[in-house]
């Protein structure tokens, strides 16, 4: 069965930035082919990605989050756990799970930084969509 649907998970933290990744993804893959799912934060993405992949409905799952140093917890630990979990979700399910989870070294709550990262997330969304299409095409070729 050929899947033409894609799942897109997005974290609610820094939604004004993270949501731009969906904008970029939709520039490459039509919105009608994308089911969008919201989660509170990045840490919740791997479990949902695994569950969505396991449904068999999606050619690929993309997950977007912006993990910044809030000064309270180790953001690098969170980011590493999320990316590792997303990779495991893809490996365990056999469905490509793509990460648009970014952890900047220097982020400040300024208009300048917000604009930089909004634009960056649009491009990362485009890249994830292209990767989803490419890996899906390659896997179809291998299965033939």
Q: What is the CATH number of domain 6-139?
A: 3.40.50.960
Q: How many residues does the chain have?
A: 144
- pLDDT score for 66: 87
Question: With contact defined as beta carbons under 8 Å apart, do 11 and 39 qualify?
Answer: yes
Phi, psi at 46, each rounded to 5° = -60, -40
Q: Active-site residues: which are they?
A: 74
The 10s digit of each residue's pLDDT in 36-62 is 999 998 889 999 999 999 999 999 999
> Would strands 34-39 and 97-102 be described as parallel, antiparallel, or unpaired?
unpaired
- pLDDT score for 95: 96
Is a pLDDT exceeding 90 seen at residue 108?
no
The 10s digit of each residue's pLDDT in 76-98 is 667 778 888 899 999 999 999 99
Is a pLDDT exceeding 90 seen at residue 140?
no
- pLDDT score for 44: 93
136 vs 74: which has the higher pLDDT: 136
Question: With contact defined as beta carbons under 8 Å apart, do 41 and 97 qualify?
Answer: no
- Predicted confidence band of residue 70 (pLDDT cuts 50, 70, 90): low
- Predicted confidence band of residue 67 (pLDDT cuts 50, 70, 90): confident
Phi, psi at 75, each rounded to 5° = -65, -30
């Amino acid at each position: 069965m050929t899947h033409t649907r894609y799942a897109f998970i997005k974290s609610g933290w820094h939604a004004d930035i993270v949501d731009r990744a969906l904008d970029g993804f939709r520039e490459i893959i039509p919105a009608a082919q994308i089911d969008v799912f919201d989660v509170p934060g990045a840490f919740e993405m791997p479990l949902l990605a695994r569950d969505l992949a396991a449904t068999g409905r999606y050619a690929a799952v993309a997950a977007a989050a912006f993990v910044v140093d809030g000064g309270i917890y180790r953001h690098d630990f969170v980011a590493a756990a999320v990316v590792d979990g997303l990779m495991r979700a893809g490996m365990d399910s056999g469905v490509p799970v793509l990460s648009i989870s970014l952890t900047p070294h220097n982020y400040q709550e300024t208009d300048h930084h917000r604009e930089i990262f909004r634009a960056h997330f649009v491009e990362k969304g485009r890249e994830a969509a292209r990767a989803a299409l490419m890996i899906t095409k390659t896997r179809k070729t291998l299965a033939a």
